[in-house]
Structure 1
Amino acid sequence: MTASLQKTQVDLAGLMRVLGEALYSTPFVAIRELVQNGHDSCTRRAKESTEPFEPKIQVRTRPGELIIEDNGAGLTLEEIHTYLATVGRGYTRTLREKGGGDDLIGYFGLGFLSAFAISHRVEFWTCSFQAPGLAHRFVSVSGESYSVVVAANRAVGTQVRLFLKDEMPMLGDPAIVETWLRKYCCLLKHPVALNGGVAVNAEPPPWRRQSELSDLRYKTLSLAFARHFENVFDPIATIPVNRADYAVQGMLWIQDGGSFASSDNRNLSVFVRGMLIGEDERNLLPRWAGFVGGVIESTLLQPTASRESLRNDDAYEFIAGVLQQALVSGLRQIAESDPASWRRILSRHNESLLAAALVDATLFKLVGDDVTVRTTEGDFTMPALLERCNGTVYLSYEERAGVESMLLKALKQPIVLGCRFAAGPFCARYAQAHGAPIVVLGTDTGAETLFRPSDLARDEIAVLEACFFAADRDVLVRQFDPPFLPFAVLTNPEAEIRRRLESDEADRRIGQAVLGLARQFTAGIAQQKLAKVYVNAANPVIRELLQLSNERRTQAVAALQPLLSLCADARGTPDMERALTDFGNALLTLLRDGP
């Protein structure tokens, strides 16, 4: 069978329905698209006409109607057929491709279709500056067909009159329309007014006026502008983004609301050539910046066909890098010049900045000395912590206090709670950067740091090891602080689990199938001792044991054994009743035998 080349057919009715009704997420986008067409028409007239004029766009509302009028270039009859009535073809794109339309907003030639999503009839009155004595009236009901007739003479420009669908009455409400105009059009170059009032974009954004404003006035206007876009939190401080070399400008701000490392309240509005394109382009901000909002404008960023979001291309990634640099630089500027705002930022976003510092080396240098970590003695900055602990960082990942923690607490040495988000890695990086030792409690290295070798002779050590020997524990004679503690007992968690699973009590409390699986696991654990007993050779009582006769030493050790049980860490929960009973009996023996 011979293949034949066929021409693709287009279902115009279906295409118009998809483009007009499903392309945009909200009917209010029609306001933006039609105002944008009027704005581009004014820009075109300014470029191509030799006669001076004052560009303006006027939006009018009536019950059941929405009217957008401009005094821009207008359209000739040929241009009506070529551009207005041809889906996907726009004069702005043609002009831009010729190199003369970098400041034009439109591109895809689809914006006029939004009119059919909100209206059942569209009337388009236009007069071109190229033929100022000839006006035309374009009428379409569905967008699939249209009629054009010569109309009564009118001023150069265009009027689009929309007869709203019954389900779109809100588009004839002036208060609602004004809200959306202020959102979409606040950065446009040409004035856009509603019902003859003051232009919604009469006041340019602060960054366009920064050179003419005092620092105080700029700060005041910037905060006011930020509040207009920040829907949840009040801004603490603003950060300018002014990189003409990267075709991006605007501002970022720090939100005045408490955050955690898992919080993500980023919000970023992006304008392209003065028109709002993306209301929530948060991915242009660093992932760690969950407490940052912003508004930027850029000519590098490219909108998608619906112009409600941006293409994630190389330019997008590049601008994201520029914003990250601006944010870190701005935070540094706030820290140096506005200490009051910097303190507020630290108090609201300490944990977020703690985590952020781990993924951004520049930010780590900025906030490393200022953020705090939670310890057993309260919150400390790292410099204050090192000063308190004589240059050493003590870190624990245990949720419950162990013996090592108890020792340091007795010495009033703060221990960083490593179980708090990002605290452990942050302390490790800070300690490494400043050449400070870090002692992780619950590890062999940590134990070696706290429990130092004793100064006793080998035979004296052997005597003490024999005094406190038991089959289920290792006895180590060491010296540690504070000296008033005779023992420190560290339970082996894996051996403790094995002991419990092998007990008769476990058989009663745990299902046999689950217990069998657990015992298969613990069978792989070597026959480890349940605990390590550190005998403190610096303790006066322990040293006195070496001076006693064997009989008296035996009696004294019997009195000390219950105390040894009570000195175990949280994992080795003692039998309190038995320990106290044994202690009482041993003390009675000492009292009755006398000296």
Structure 2
Amino acid sequence: MTSSTRAGTTDPAVNTFQVDLRGLVDLLSHHLYSSPRVYVRELLQNAVDAVTARRAHDPVAVIRIRLSTAGGQVSIEDTGIGLTADEVHTLLATIGRSSKRGDAQGLENARREFLGQFGIGLLACFVVARQIRVVTRSARTPEAPPVEWLATDDGSYTVRTLPDEARPEPGTTVFLEPRPGAEEWTEPGRVEELARDFGSLLPYDITFSAGDGIERTLTDRPAVWDREHPTPGARRVALAGHCARVFGFTPLDTIDLDLPVAGVRGVAYVLPEPTSPAHRAGHRVYLKGMLLTDHADNLLPDWAFFVRAVLDTDTLRPTASRENLYDDETLAAVRDALGARVRDWLTELAAGEPERLAAFLSVHHLGVKSLARHDAELLDLMLPWLPFETSDGQVSLEEFAAAHDDIHFTRTVEEFRQIAPIAAAHGLGVINAGYTYDADLLALLPAVRPGIKVTELDAGAVTDRLDPVDTGAELALAGFLATARTRLDALGCDVALRAFQPVSVPALFLDDRQARHERDRATAQDGADSLWSDILGSLRGSAPRARLVLNHNNPLIRRISALPDAELTGTAVESLYGQALLMSQRPLRPADTTLLNRAFLGLLEWATHSAAQQADPEDDQK
């Protein structure tokens, strides 16, 4: 750094930063910081660090931090450690050596080394300032005169000594003159709002004045979760009010997040309404009392998407912009510990406050299911409470398991909706595993409840539970069943006759995963060239085929089985197959689409032909 000014001289000398200041400001404002609002945080942080250093140097020193606005300028005064002229030069020169344009790591290193001094934090004020003026006096060297440091955004600065009366006591005052276009950030209301937001939990009293001579306290300590309250109910009310102010909702419940070993203290608020598991929650994090971010999305495990947390930490590492947490091993350990605290809260509710747990699960059972996938102990604990959609209605998994030793499940909601009424009527225990996490939990059920068998629903299991038709009646329909099987054989579908409820269902299409794989293989083989067709043909196995179960109780089935015309019977069976396939929500293959079209046109032709014949029977005879 080039400089001709040292402590003891009075005439200012013009100096040049050892950085490209315009480039640095561009980097800060467009690539490092998300908003110009952070300049208030940097002013507060510099002042807090300065008075912290002063308190360490002189424990009985009077500590004061005052933020004010007047005449369009922003100023902050502290009774901190202060600086000499040589220290001002040294700090600026250090920034020049350790900061590289576009090198965020260099900026972060400089910040960690000179946090709260005239480092990157002070230069960050250029995102709103045209000029920065600093008047400072050192507490370590009280005989040294006050120093003025005046910098502009064109990349130059001056340093000069001042008479003693310019700053009689140690400390620093920083004055910011806004640059054109940035005046909105220095308006009194905006400055006070930002200062309260960033600094309400700082360890020193901070006041604000808007030039009217009235000083208002910005800090509000201790944090609401650390305050003494007359009763637990009063504490819950206070926390609910804090949540409403910070997040805009009244929490369903609160969870204390106290990790003294990790230097973390705070609270998690349970959302009052369901939210998507894919939603990335934004948590509010303070670093040593200074607001770091409202959008920390890596603070809690992904499964804890049902809470919003507010906490203060003195151990976690900020990113270069100091607007989020650096995802390192320390944060990973804290994240696991916070997740364990949420899990312990659930355990405590299950053990002693079932009503609160039931209210929570009625809204956020997905979050608990997500956690229970990886925690068999928690799954065992939550079984009496976790709701599932079953053929017995909406019941807990434990209640359903007590009623059914053999549990079947469907992988899609549509398949369950089709089979549920029939399963319920015939005592078949079926669970809808088409919802998020349910299939994973069912796979774990035998491990926590030995003796329970869980299998995917297959056509054979359903057919075996349906009432068989009297042998004589089935023999009387042998011709009809033969026609039906012949028509559907090319589609890879068998036909069975059963009597089941509800009577309104004429036919039921059933298959399982193996049958679906075989259908997909056959479809791919039909559309492949000769080489792939041979290969796919060689993969054909003995997998069970899909099955169309005809309901002998249904009047339509009885009428169709009595039709004298075999061709019309076949068309009607194809129509039943198509309708059952559509009801099962299965994707249609080209062959299925062709069959549906043929059956529809065939029935339409038969209906119009019959109507014409009835209208003019003589014409039909001709």
For residues 546 and 313 of structure 2, the distance between their equivalents in structure 1, rounded to whole angstroms, comes to 65
C-alpha change, 1:130 and 1:555, in structure 2 (3 Å) is closer
Match of 1:173 in 2: 187
Match of 1:130 in 2: 140
Match of 2:161 in 1: 149
> Is 1:61 the equivalent of 2:69?
yes
Match of 2:271 in 1: 255
Residues 59-458 of structure 1: matches in 2 within 5 Å? 59-83=67-91, 86-87=94-95, 106=116, 109-132=119-142, 134-142=145-153, 144-151=156-163, 152=165, 153-195=167-209, 196-209=214-227, 214-231=231-248, 233-262=249-278, 264-336=279-351, 338-361=353-376, 363-375=378-390, 378-387=393-402, 389-398=403-412, 399-400=414-415, 405-411=420-426, 415-434=430-449, 435-441=451-457, 443=458, 446-447=461-462, 450=465
- The root-mean-square deviation of aligned C-alpha atoms, in Å, is 4.8
Match of 1:43 in 2: 52
Spell out, residue by residue over 1:274-322, the C-alpha distance to the aligned partner (whole angstroms, 9 max, x if none). 2222332211211122222112222321123322223222112112112
User: Runs of 5+ in structure 1 lacking a partner?
Assistant: 1-8, 91-96, 502-513, 540-553, 582-595
Match of 2:7 in 1: none
391-400 or 462-471, larger mean C-alpha shift: 462-471
Give 1:461 shift: 10
For residues 476 and 64 of structure 2, the distance between their equivalents in structure 1, rounded to whole angstroms, comes to 100
470-479 or 116-125, larger mean C-alpha shift: 470-479
Query: How many percent of aligned residue pairs carry the same amino acid?
Result: 22
For residues 104 and 138 of structure 1, the distance between their equivalents in structure 2, rounded to whole angstroms, comes to 17
Give 1:369 shift: 2.8
C-alpha change, 1:86 and 1:62, in structure 2 (3 Å) is farther
CA contact (8 A) 1:63 1:173 kept: no
For residues 429 and 544 of structure 2, the distance between their equivalents in structure 1, rounded to whole angstroms, comes to 30
Specify the SS of the correspondent of 2:304.
coil
TM-score by length of 2: 0.70
For residues 495 and 251 of structure 1, the distance between their equivalents in structure 2, rounded to whole angstroms, comes to 50
For residues 329 and 570 of structure 1, the distance between their equivalents in structure 2, rounded to whole angstroms, comes to 48
For residues 345 and 75 of structure 1, the distance between their equivalents in structure 2, rounded to whole angstroms, comes to 55
Specify the SS of the correspondent of 2:135.
strand
Give 1:242 shift: 1.1
For residues 33 and 274 of structure 1, the distance between their equivalents in structure 2, rounded to whole angstroms, comes to 13
Give 1:194 shift: 1.3
C-alpha change, 1:229 and 1:436, in structure 2 (3 Å) is same
53-62 or 392-401, larger mean C-alpha shift: 392-401
C-alpha change, 1:298 and 1:203, in structure 2 (3 Å) is closer
Give 1:163 shift: 1.0
For residues 362 and 13 of structure 1, the distance between their equivalents in structure 2, rounded to whole angstroms, comes to 58
CA contact (8 A) 1:268 1:294 kept: yes
Give 1:105 shift: 6.0
For residues 33 and 570 of structure 1, the distance between their equivalents in structure 2, rounded to whole angstroms, comes to 68
Give 1:491 shift: 5.6
C-alpha change, 1:53 and 1:220, in structure 2 (3 Å) is farther
Give 1:145 shift: 2.3
For residues 141 and 57 of structure 1, the distance between their equivalents in structure 2, rounded to whole angstroms, comes to 24
Specify the SS of the correspondent of 2:373.
helix
Match of 2:34 in 1: 25
C-alpha change, 1:252 and 1:449, in structure 2 (3 Å) is farther
For residues 23 and 509 of structure 2, the distance between their equivalents in structure 1, rounded to whole angstroms, comes to 75
Aligned length: 528
Match of 1:6 in 2: none
For residues 356 and 544 of structure 2, the distance between their equivalents in structure 1, rounded to whole angstroms, comes to 55
CA contact (8 A) 1:475 1:535 kept: no
C-alpha change, 1:431 and 1:335, in structure 2 (3 Å) is same
Give 1:69 shift: 0.9
Give 1:396 shift: 2.0
Residues 403-552 of structure 1: matches in 2 within 5 Å? 405-411=420-426, 415-434=430-449, 435-441=451-457, 443=458, 446-447=461-462, 450=465, 468-469=481-482, 472=486, 490=509, 517=527, 524=536, 532=547
C-alpha change, 1:357 and 1:529, in structure 2 (3 Å) is closer
Specify the SS of the correspondent of 1:285.
coil
Spell out, residue by residue over 1:45-84, the C-alpha distance to the aligned partner (whole angstroms, 9 max, x if none). 111115x234221110124210111122222333233336
Specify the SS of the correspondent of 1:288.
coil
C-alpha change, 1:213 and 1:136, in structure 2 (3 Å) is farther
C-alpha change, 1:296 and 1:491, in structure 2 (3 Å) is closer
C-alpha change, 1:158 and 1:445, in structure 2 (3 Å) is farther
Spell out, residue by residue over 1:504-551, the C-alpha distance to the aligned partner (whole angstroms, 9 max, x if none). xxxxxxxxxx997379788856699976477999x9xxxxxxxxxxxx
Amino acid at match of 2:45: Q
Specify the SS of the correspondent of 2:76.
strand
TM-score by length of 1: 0.73
CA contact (8 A) 1:83 1:89 kept: no
Give 1:373 shift: 1.9
